[in-house]
Structure 1
Amino acid sequence: MPSEKILEQKKEVVSGLSKKIKEAKAMVFADYRGLTVEQDTELRNALRKAGVEYKVVKNTLTRFAAKENGLEGLEPFLKGPTAMAVSNTDPVAPAKVLAEYVKKYEKLELKVGVVEGKIIDEKGINALAELPSREVLIAKVLGGFNAPISGLVNVLNGNIRGLVVALNAIAEQKNA
């Protein structure tokens, strides 16, 4: 039986994990078994650059934290070595970076993901990774808003141009 001190430490870890899960826009769990130290360091640097927190988690403690947040569906995936990539701001970033490194390193395997409280499988993670970045999506939306306005301006300019051409033709006719 573990001591009171150890139980309190584990409760604190579960509480911290539970808070991370609650605040996360997206999480991806992966099996990192077989990665070299250099590969893992490269992966961690890429995730850090994308604003994603990455850490190795204990499956049992993660199960408790997931259960506290109503994510009992994670339990079957929490076996073997597990790393968790979490983003509180960008729901696409963890999936995008990990999917890129899964292609690069065969030994890295995606397990499961959670986006906005919904559990997604490996196919869902890969589909999420294929989405354009947030900046590209915003640019497309703004471009869509701009298109009707520029079309209206062209129509109005066309009518004014037509009127100017007609008036010019009448003026030339009267001069002749």
Structure 2
Amino acid sequence: MPNSKNVDMLAKVAESLENSKGVFFIDYRGLSVKETQELRRGLREAGAHMKVYKNNIVKIALKNAEMPEVDGLNGTVAYVFYENDPVEAAKVIKEKAEAFEKIEWIGAIADGKALTAEDAKAYADLPSREELMAKLVYVIGSPLSGIAQVLAGPARGLATALQAVADQKAA
């Protein structure tokens, strides 16, 4: 019969998997308590949260949720569950990994697919959702403003010519 603590932990992992769009796996070995708190705070601001569970229980939860299996879930693994944008969470992990020089990427599950450490790390180099929306607005708006300027050109020229005639008659 399984230990009740393990059953409770399995339920928590299953709930985290259900409530998130994906998860990053990182090796956090060597982080101090202060550094861990700083990482958790940054992730919370990005709409993600970091938990540490027993690796075997996470593997069972992944299997129960019919999610792909990820290699490398051994040792000190932290699980970063993100609710919205994986890019924001990945950027926080990358930033803290560079600052602390102690965090290693193990992999991820995103869009229902298992990712390698390199693929997971690549998410941090993508533009955020807000950046993409701003670029889209610019791309859509740029031709429209050009068309508006071209269409306004003849009217502007006519107004300038009329003003010149008015100034000439006034002089």
CA distance in 2, matches of 1:47, 1:98: 8
Among 29, 35, 56, the alignment partner of 2:31 is 35
Match of 2:97 in 1: 102
Give RMSD over aligned pairs.
2.3
Among 128, 133, 147, the alignment partner of 2:128 is 133
CA distance in 2, matches of 1:165, 1:93: 51
CA distance in 1, matches of 2:68, 2:22: 16
Query: Are 1:26 and 1:94, in contact at CA under 8 Å, matched by a contact in 2?
Result: no
Query: Are 2:59 and 2:69, in contact at CA under 8 Å, matched by a contact in 1?
Result: no
Query: Are 1:102 and 1:109, in contact at CA under 8 Å, matched by a contact in 2?
Result: yes
Query: Are 1:112 and 1:121, in contact at CA under 8 Å, matched by a contact in 2?
Result: yes
Instruction: Find out whether 1:21 has 2:17 as its counterpart.
Output: yes
Query: Are 1:28 and 1:113, in contact at CA under 8 Å, matched by a contact in 2?
Result: yes
SS of equivalent residue, structure 1 residue 85: strand
TM-score by length of 1: 0.81
Query: Are 1:92 and 1:133, in contact at CA under 8 Å, matched by a contact in 2?
Result: yes
5+ residue gaps in structure 2?
Answer: none
CA distance in 1, matches of 2:136, 2:154: 28
Deviation for aligned residue 1:73: 2.3
5+ residue gaps in structure 1?
Answer: none
Query: Alignment identity in percent?
Result: 35
The CA deviation string for residues 137-176 of structure 1, in whole angstroms up to 9 with x for no partner, is 111111112112211211210233345567x5xx79xx9x
The CA deviation string for residues 78-106 of structure 1, in whole angstroms up to 9 with x for no partner, is 11111111111222122111111111222
Match of 2:107 in 1: 112
CA distance in 1, matches of 2:129, 2:81: 17
SS of equivalent residue, structure 1 residue 78: coil
CA distance in 1, matches of 2:155, 2:79: 61
Instruction: Find out whether 1:149 has 2:163 as its counterpart.
Output: no
CA distance in 2, matches of 1:39, 1:91: 21
CA distance in 2, matches of 1:57, 1:12: 11
TM-score by length of 2: 0.83
Query: Are 1:53 and 1:85, in contact at CA under 8 Å, matched by a contact in 2?
Result: yes
How many residues are treated as equivalent by the alignment? 166
The CA deviation string for residues 43-80 of structure 1, in whole angstroms up to 9 with x for no partner, is 12222222211111110110011112222421x22111
Among 154, 161, 167, the alignment partner of 1:159 is 154
SS of equivalent residue, structure 1 residue 77: coil
Instruction: Find out whether 1:55 has 2:47 as its counterpart.
Output: no
